[in-house]
A and B are shown apart, each in its own frame.
Chain A
Amino acid sequence: MKSKKGLFNPDSIQEIRNETKRWEKEVYPREKERLEVFETLSGIPIEAIYTPEDTAKMDYLRDLGFPGEEPFIRGVHPTMYRGRTWTQRQLAGYGPPEETNKRYKFLLKQGANGINGVFDYPTLRGYDSTDPEAYADAGRGGVAIDTIEDMRILLDGIPIDQVSSSMVTCQPIGNISVQSMYFANAEAHSIPFNKLTGTSQNDFLMETVVAIAPEVLPPKASFKLSCDAIEYCTKYVPRWNPVSFAGYNYREAGCTAIQEVAFVIANAIACSEELIRRGLDVDRFASRLSFFFSGHNDFFEEIAKYRAARRTWYRVMRERFGAKDPRSLALRFHVQTAGVALTAQQPLNNIARAAYHALSAVLGGAQSVHIDAYDEALCTPTELSSLTALRTQQVLQLETRVTHTIDPLGGSYFVESLTNQLEEKIVALLNEIEGMGGIVRAVEKGWIHKAISSEAYEYQKAIESGEMPIVGVNCYRIEDEKLPIELFQVPETLEIQRAKLERIKKERSSTNVQKASDAILRCCEKDGNLMEVVVEGVKAYVTEGEVTKVLKRYYGIWNPPLF
Chain B
Amino acid sequence: MEKRIVKKGIRVLLARLGLDAHWRGSIVVAHALRDAGMEVIYIGNQMPKEIVETAIQEDVDIIGLSSLSGNHMILAPEVVKRLREKGTQEIPVVLGGTVPPDDIPILKEAGISGIFGPGSSLKEIIQFISALGKK
A residues near B, CB below 8 A? 121-122, 124-125, 127, 132-137, 140-141, 170, 210-214, 252-254, 340, 343-345, 377-380, 453-454, 456-457, 460-461, 464, 470, 472-474, 483, 487, 490, 559, 561-563
Contact = CB atoms under 8 A, between A and B. Distances in A.
A487 B4 contact: no
A127 B31 contact: no
B132 to A, nearest CB: 20
B101 interface: yes
A453 B31 contact: yes
Interface stretch (B57-65, B83-91, B107-115, B117-125): B117-125
Interface string B41-79: 011111100000000000000000000011100110000
Given A121-B20, A456-B24, A563-B40, A140 B71 contact: yes
B98 interface: yes
A124 B19 CA distance: 9
Contacts of A457: 27-28, 31-32
A137 B74 CA distance: 9
Given A211-B23, A453-B31, A460 B44 contact: no
A352 to B, nearest CB: 17
A464 B123 contact: yes
A136 B74 contact: yes
Contacts, number: 121
Given A133-B47, A344-B98, A464 B121 contact: yes
B1 interface: yes
Interface of B: 1-2, 4, 14, 16-21, 23-24, 27-28, 30-32, 40, 42-47, 69-71, 74-75, 98, 100-102, 117-119, 121-123
Given A141-B21, A141-B69, A343-B119, A562 B42 contact: yes
Given A137-B18, A343-B119, 18 more contacts: A121-B18, A121-B21, A125-B21, A133-B47, A140-B71, A141-B20, A212-B27, A213-B45, A253-B23, A345-B119, A377-B118, A453-B27, A460-B32, A487-B100, A487-B102, A559-B2, A563-B4, A563-B40
Contacts of A453: 23, 27-28, 31
Contacts of B16: 213
Given A124-B21, A456-B28, A562 B43 contact: yes
A349 to B, nearest CB: 12
A429 B8 CA distance: 36
A379 B32 CA distance: 26
Contacts of A253: 23-24
B98 A460 contact: no
Contacts of B101: 483
Contacts of A135: 74
A453 B1 CA distance: 19
Given A487-B102, A490-B70, A212 B19 contact: no
B100 A379 contact: yes
Contacts of A134: 18-19
Contacts of A121: 18-21, 69
